[in-house]
Chain A
Amino acid sequence: MTMTERDPLDDFFDAARARPPAPDPALMARVLADAEAQAAAREAPVPVRSGGFAGILRGRGGWPALAGFATATAAGVWIGVALPDVTQPFLGGAAYDVNDLLPGYGTDLLVGG
């Protein structure tokens, strides 16, 4: 076949392109309804769970409050572990004894009576 020779199939392809199967309006409407439903589902608010840990957390200010609590805890641990020279003077330079916490009961606790 030369470049100028026309493929006999082209007449059939031309005829097919000239008469494309057209979708019914009902199909177009169903497709659009699906699009609307998907968009609406994405925009719907996420339901808030109640009770359990979520309820306790919400009563204390939610996740921001928990984040502040965690930060303060981590900072306290870090100060105590990494900077003993800073914390030691506040402890009187000595470790706590049972009597410091429960005066008068230290001996009882130690002997089990």
Chain B
Amino acid sequence: MPFDAMTDVSDEALLVAYGNGDRAAAQALTARLTPRIFGYAARVLSDRAEAEDVVQEAMLRLWKIAPEWRQGEAQVSTWLYRVTVNLCTDRLRKYGRSVDIDAVAEPEDGRESVEAALIAGDRAAALQSALDTLPVRQRQAVVLRHIDGLSNPDIARAMDIGVEAVESLTARGKRALRGLLAGRREELGYDDD
């Protein structure tokens, strides 16, 4: 099947096709899934090189499991997010500054970079600077929910926690972000737009 004709084919059908030797299915899956998990990993790790390593490893695990993929048991994207979340958590535990992944947020750490980004009018950069100050689990949950747009049950599966825990993590994460961003918005006149 030509690559262009695969836009309507499900991730699962593509994965099974790849497991049966269809190279074009791998191209379609790469184009579809790699940008999604790269965006997630880059935001959570705040490091492109680290994110690239994580994404290549996660996709390699997808290629390896393809022949044994059991249809109907899980969504491919959720499975892949789960692998990526775990790889990011491992990286941050090993190399990151957040040794305790459930530690209480320290909003003061990011105020200077957040303010600089706001002065420059760069909201995406300001948000990233604020995200970097969150405990890892809160950061992961907020990115999955509010940027990648996953549902709470899918986030629960990806993070291997309950839905209530997801709601708690996103609520605490957003509260911390508001503390960093909302107050600065008012000071810098962002309420008018």
Stretch at the interface among B104-112, B133-141, B158-166, B174-182: B174-182
Check A8–B55 contact: CB distance below 8 A.
no
Interface string of B13-54 (1 = CB under 8 A from A): 000001001010011011100110011001100001001100
Which residues of chain B are near A15, meaning CB under 8 Å? 122-124, 127
| A43 at interface by CB-CB < 8 Å | yes
A-B Cβ contacts below 8 A, count: 96
Q: How far is the CB of B33 from the nearest CB of chain A, in Å?
A: 9
A-chain residues with CB within 8 Å of residue B97 when the two chains form the complex: none
A18 cross-chain contacts in B, Cβ below 8 A: 124
Segment of A34-42, A47-55, A62-70, A90-98 in the binding face = A34-42
CB <8 Å contact, A27 and B182 = no
Contact B26 A9 (CB under 8 A): no
Q: Give chain B residues whose Cβ lies under 8 Å from the Cβ of A112.
A: none
Asked if B26 and A36 make an inter-chain contact with CB atoms under 8 angstroms apart, the answer reads yes
Query: Complex Cα distance A88/B60, Å?
Result: 67
Report whether A42 and B67 are in contact in the complex, using a CB–CB cutoff of 8 Å: yes
Beta-carbon contact of A12 and B181 below 8 Å: yes
A and B contact pairs by CB, cutoff 8 A, 28 listed: A8-B181, A11-B123, A11-B190, A12-B123, A12-B177, A13-B127, A15-B122, A15-B124, A15-B127, A18-B124, A19-B124, A21-B38, A22-B35, A22-B39, A24-B52, A27-B55, A27-B56, A28-B31, A30-B56, A31-B59, A31-B60, A34-B59, A35-B18, A35-B29, A35-B63, A36-B26, A38-B64, A42-B21
Known: A16-B43, A23-B55, A42-B21. 11 other contacts (CB 8 A): A9-B177, A9-B178, A15-B124, A16-B123, A16-B124, A27-B34, A31-B55, A34-B60, A35-B23, A35-B26, A38-B64
Measuring CB to CB, which residues of chain B are less than 8 angstroms from any residue of chain A? Answer: 18, 21, 23, 26-27, 29-31, 34-35, 38-39, 42-43, 48, 51-52, 55-56, 59-60, 63-64, 66-67, 122-124, 126-128, 130, 146-147, 174, 177-178, 181-182, 185, 190
Chain A residues within 8 Å of B, Cβ to Cβ = 7-9, 11-13, 15-24, 27-28, 30-32, 34-36, 38-39, 42-43
